[in-house]
Amino acid sequence: MITVELDNFSLKEICQSGQCFRMRETEENTYELIAGDQYLKLTQEGTIVTFYCSDVEFLCYWVPYFDLDADYGGYIEKINPRDRYLCAAAASGSGIRILRQDLWEMIITFLISQQNNITRIRGCIDRLCKRYGEKKVSLDGMEYWSFPTPQQLGTATEEELRALGMGYRARYLVETTQSILKGEISLEKLYNMRYYRRAKQELMKLSGVGEKVADCICLFALHHMDAFPIDTHIRQVLDEHYKRGFPNRRYHGLRGIMQQYIFYYELTQRFRR
């Protein structure tokens, strides 16, 4: 168990930010997270966060996963104070971190996310993991299923995936998995691609991966912080608040962080309206 004090860190905001779909609030201020084949319980009281894991797991896995070494307060300070909308968005989601998630898991996750809502996405991923992943037991006796590897998911047929509720996305999952297994697209090479646009172009060679999905994968797996996924809600914000275009030059290298503040702000504002 590791207890640390963290600024600009909110488990609630991270859980609701749309980056990951295997993180849940189990009781007030208590969360569980499954990432790949790892399980983690976390609690938070104010700025005090407790990670229920070993020192080695915390330092080697969860510090990079939650981007804990980055200064998000410094990122927020770079926002133009005259941009009232973005200032409000950042204040609303100031505890969000851009997670460093597994590339393969993010490819499959965001293929499933297309034209889908958060509840259905979570259900689809849970069923996929229980059908093709490996059953695990955490140190405190919690049963969970790992995210299936390409080899494990490679046994799935389109019909089986449709039966799990994947709909038209089943074909994308089968074809993308086979592309990875055959080496047509290399996960290792994607990890090593230095430039965001090159990685995005490579990802868009996969079945079902368009610009928005590629940007999500670039941001949430490859940590290309200039990726700026645009969905319907982000497009509406750009049309309403940035008629001359989003100030990309000012936020070069930080655009993805700003996108997350906007996305979270719009998501929470919709519930309040």
Q: pLDDT (tens digit, 9 = 90+) per residue, 4-57?
A: 999 999 999 999 999 999 999 999 999 999 998 999 999 999 999 999 999 999
Tell me whether strands 23-27 and 30-35 are parallel, antiparallel or unpaired: antiparallel
Specify the long-range contacts of residues 120-129, CB closer than 8 Å, at least 24 apart. Answer: 120/165, 121/21, 122/21, 122/22, 123/165, 124/164, 124/165, 124/166, 125/21, 125/22, 126/22, 127/164, 127/165, 128/153, 128/161, 128/164, 128/166, 129/22, 129/34
Q: How many Å apart are CA 93 and CA 56, to the nearest integer?
A: 29
CATH number for the domain whose boundaries are 103-220 = 1.10.340.30
Q: How many Å apart are CA 181 and CA 31, to the nearest integer?
A: 34
What proportion of the chain, given as a percentage, has pLDDT over 70? 99
Q: Model confidence at 141, in pLDDT bands (50, 70, 90)?
A: confident
Domain ranges, ordered by start, for the chain: 2-92, 103-220, 232-272
Q: Which is the catalytic residue, given 12, 78, 136, 212?
A: 212
Q: What is the pLDDT of residue 115?
A: 80
Q: What is the pLDDT of residue 43?
A: 97
* Residue range 161-180: mean pLDDT, rounded: 96
- Residue whose token pair is 């509720």: 165
* Residue range 63-82: mean pLDDT, rounded: 96
Task: Retrieve residue 46's tokens.
Answer: 């104010």
Establish whether 41 is a catalytic residue: no
C-alpha pair distances (Å), 25 with each of 16, 57, 64, 255: 10, 21, 21, 28
Q: What is the pLDDT of residue 272?
A: 54
Q: How many Å apart are CA 225 and CA 219, to the nearest integer?
A: 6
* Residue range 98-126: mean pLDDT, rounded: 93
Q: pLDDT (tens digit, 9 = 90+) per residue, 226-259?
A: 999 999 889 999 999 999 999 999 999 999 999 9
Residues 6+ apart with CB under 8 A from 180: 104, 107, 150, 187
Closest CA to 223 of 106, 59, 71, 118: 106
CATH number for the domain whose boundaries are 2-92 = 3.30.310.260
